[in-house]
């Protein structure tokens, strides 16, 4: 990035910070701050161990310095500006989840599609935090990262003192790691005798018919299992025309016999039985094949509803009790887009490529080093190599992405 381009970006960022609404963290004096400046890019050296006692100090610093990237610590420290980590005296830390589209398996190359995919993961995580863990929405701050994903800040008093090992246990639960069938089900004795042709399990010792019941079928992994099972059963009988084609994967993968397949078809064709799964957690699976079938469905449920830490979510961020995270209301130096705080209700309609773009439509001349395309503010921008005139928001984005310089260039740029 040449000197003129650095000056241009700093002036644009400084103009933004003049009136920006910055999401300053609670317990401001106990937070460490860190910055990356355009002057030293592309080395991207981080300047950290800063602290601010008052909101005005932080806001004045952002306006005066116009940094490329702005971070604060998820941890609370007694001495946040101490130069050595062991001298800061850790007091607690938020529980942080960093969803990054770039880590998703088979993520699309198109930026817009990538962001849409990671939004679906955000809804999954939201369900875990609110339903499974019982956090209140007011205890969670949702933030678009300004780049490829979303940050969740959990500030419940219950999590602040958790260590790394406890935070990894939360990760394991959300991704369904070590989840076993025996933890999801219990046997329930039914009244009456087992009728001829019943698909239920029979307890000969007690001489009573048994059905399986999903523990906590209306919440947590039990709810997800029940939902996926019903959707799977319905799909098999509605999509496949002939009974001989139904549950083919179970026939081959699990080597289920004709009796078990027949029982599954019967259950899938019975609306009352399907409703019982969702409203009572009751299952009428064949006894001898119950474990195999339930394990298969559980595995599919984990793929559908679980979150793959290390792929969808950056696991080290969640387990780290001394992490730095982007400041809501700041600008992302790799895109020029807003690190935007959102309510949960806003997420559905939130369009990052429009709602997180803060710069104007004013035309700006740039020199593009290679062809580039992006959707911004509802426009499909296809930028060719060479001198181009584009809206200011596009100019900032392309410069931040490293594919353009500000203004017209005759010779090689004078790198900073």
Helices 220-239 and 258-268 cross at an angle (nearest 10°) of 100
Residue among 376, 386, 407 nearest 9 (CA): 407
Strands (E), 243-332: 282-283, 324-326
Active-site pick, 26, 60, 100, 380: 100
Q: How far apart are CA 64 and CA 14, in angstroms?
A: 7
Q: Is 314 a catalytic residue?
A: yes
Tokens matching residue 301 = 């449920």
Rounded to whole angstroms, the Cα distance separating 70 from 63 reads 12
Number of Cβ within a 10 Å radius of residue 187: 12
Say whether 15 is catalytic. no
Q: Are 328 and 142 in contact (CB under 8 A)?
A: no
Cβ–Cβ < 8 Å for 358, 338: yes
Residue in 98, 276, 284, 289 annotated catalytic: 98
Name the active-site residue from 276, 284, 289, 314.
314
E strand map for 226-291? 282-283
Task: Classify 101 as helix, strand or coil.
Answer: helix
The DSSP H or E segment spanning 78 is: none
- CB-CB contact of 144 with 350 (8 Å): yes
In 157-265, beta strands by DSSP E: 185-189, 201-203, 208-214
Count the helices and strands in the chain (H runs, E runs).
12, 19
Residue 173 tokens read as 């639960």
* Active-site amino acid positions: 98, 100, 314
């Amino acid at each position: 990035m040449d000197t003129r381009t650095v000056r241009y970006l700093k002036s644009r960022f400084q103009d933004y910070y003049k009136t920006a609404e910055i999401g300053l963290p609670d317990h401001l004096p106990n937070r460490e701050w860190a910055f990356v400046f355009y002057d030293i890019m592309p080395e991207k050296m981080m300047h950290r161990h800063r602290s601010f006692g008052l909101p005005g100090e932080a806001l004045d610093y952002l306006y005066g310095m116009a940094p490329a990237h702005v971070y604060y610590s998820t941890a609370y420290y007694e001495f946040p500006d101490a130069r050595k980590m062991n001298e800061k005296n850790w007091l607690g830390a938020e529980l942080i989840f960093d969803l990054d589209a770039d880590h998703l398996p088979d993520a699309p190359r198109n930026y817009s599609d990538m962001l849409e995919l990671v939004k679906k993961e955000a809804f999954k995580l939201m369900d875990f935090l609110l339903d499974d863990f019982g956090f209140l929405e007011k205890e969670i701050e949702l933030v678009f990262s300004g780049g490829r994903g979303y940050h969740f800040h959990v500030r419940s008093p219950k999590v602040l003192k958790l260590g790394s090992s406890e935070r990894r246990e939360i990760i394991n639960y959300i991704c369904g790691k070590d989840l076993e069938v025996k933890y999801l089900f219990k046997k329930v004795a039914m009244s009456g005798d087992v009728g001829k042709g019943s698909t239920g399990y029979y307890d000969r010792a007690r001489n009573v018919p048994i059905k399986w019941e999903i523990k906590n079928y209306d919440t947590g992994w039990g709810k997800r299992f029940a939902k996926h099972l019903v959707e799977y059963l319905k799909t098999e009988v509605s999509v496949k025309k002939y009974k001989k084609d139904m549950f083919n994967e179970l026939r081959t993968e699990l080597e289920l016999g004709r009796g078990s397949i027949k029982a599954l078809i019967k259950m899938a064709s019975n609306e009352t039985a399907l409703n019982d799964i969702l409203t009572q957690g009751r299952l009428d699976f064949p006894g001898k094949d119950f474990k195999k079938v339930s394990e298969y469905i559980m595995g599919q449920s984990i793929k559908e509803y679980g979150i793959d830490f290390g792929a969808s979510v950056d696991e080290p961020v969640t387990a780290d009790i001394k992490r730095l995270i982007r400041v809501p209301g700041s600008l992302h130096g790799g895109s020029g887009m807003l690190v935007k705080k959102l309510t949960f209700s806003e997420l559905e309609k939130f369009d990052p490529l429009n709602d997180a773009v803060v710069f104007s439509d004013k035309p700006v001349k740039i020199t593009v080093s290679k062809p580039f395309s992006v959707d911004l503010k509802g426009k499909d921008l296809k930028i060719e190599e060479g001198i181009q005139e584009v809206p200011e928001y596009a100019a900032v984005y392309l410069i931040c992405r490293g594919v353009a310089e500000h203004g017209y260039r005759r010779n090689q740029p004078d790198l900073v």
